[in-house]
Amino acid sequence: MEMNLETRVNQMAESLREQGLRLTPQRLAILGVLLSNRAHPTAEQIYEQVHKDFPTTSLATVYKTMLVLKETGHVVELGFNDGSNRYDVVTEPHAHLICVNCKSILDPEVEGVGQFTQKIIEMHGYKLVNQRLDIFGICPECQALLSK
Ligand code: ZN
Ligand code: MN
């Protein structure tokens, strides 16, 4: 069941406070943007949204906050070859469906991604460090645009 945004922001804020992070209004706004944006935003996109309400926020503040959130396990950073890093608040194992044309990233609703990884890991006696399942394609909207 999907928790409401305020609850999720409060939970994340509380967990960050417990870890000794000072939560400024800017940082709370960053959490709000991050938790309400399911499109896996870039740091720049988060910055643009937060900047509307908090004009004193800098891109550096966003980067610093994202680093803390990453280090404390609240977000996953998805790095790409072209340097366009994206952020994900869903930290449980899941796949990504990525459009190579418009760069949209969605979380397909399929079960068993974690079990799939676990099976492979156990089969080869590995200890899991990290996992990522990216599927690249062209989304239906881009297919329609490109065929015109
Ligand atoms: Zn697309
Ligand atoms: Mn995701």
pLDDT in tens, the chain (148 residues): 456 878 888 888 888 888 888 888 899 999 999 998 889 999 999 999 999 999 999 999 999 999 989 998 889 999 998 888 999 998 889 999 999 999 999 999 998 999 999 999 999 999 999 899 999 999 999 999 999 8
Return the structure tokens found at 47: 């910055």
The pocket of ion ligand 1, defined by CB under 5 A, consists of 99, 101-102, 139, 142
Q: Give the end of a domain, one of 90, 116, 134.
A: 90
pLDDT of residue 2: 58
Q: How many domains does the chain have?
A: 2
pLDDT of residue 9: 85
Return the structure tokens found at 81: 């070859």
73 and 12 within one domain: yes
* Nearest 10 degrees: Cα torsion 8, 52, 63, 56: -120
The closest ligand to the CA of 132 turns out to be 2
Q: How far apart are CA 5 and CA 2, in angstroms?
A: 9
Domain that holds residue 29: 1-90
Find out whether 96 and 105 touch, Cβ atoms under 8 Å.
yes
* Nearest 10 degrees: Cα torsion 82, 84, 90, 92: 20
Q: How far apart are CA 43 and CA 24, in angstroms?
A: 18
Return the structure tokens found at 106: 């969605």
The closest ligand to the CA of 138 turns out to be 1
pLDDT of residue 15: 85
Backbone φ and ψ for 131, nearest 5 degrees, come out as -150, 155
pLDDT of residue 18: 87
> Amino acid letter at 78?
L
Which residue bears the tokens 């800098």? Answer: 58
pLDDT of residue 83: 83
105 and 84 within one domain: no
Q: Coil, strand or helix: which one is 17?
A: helix
**Distance in Å, CA 96 to ligand 1 centroid:** 13
78 and 39 within one domain: yes
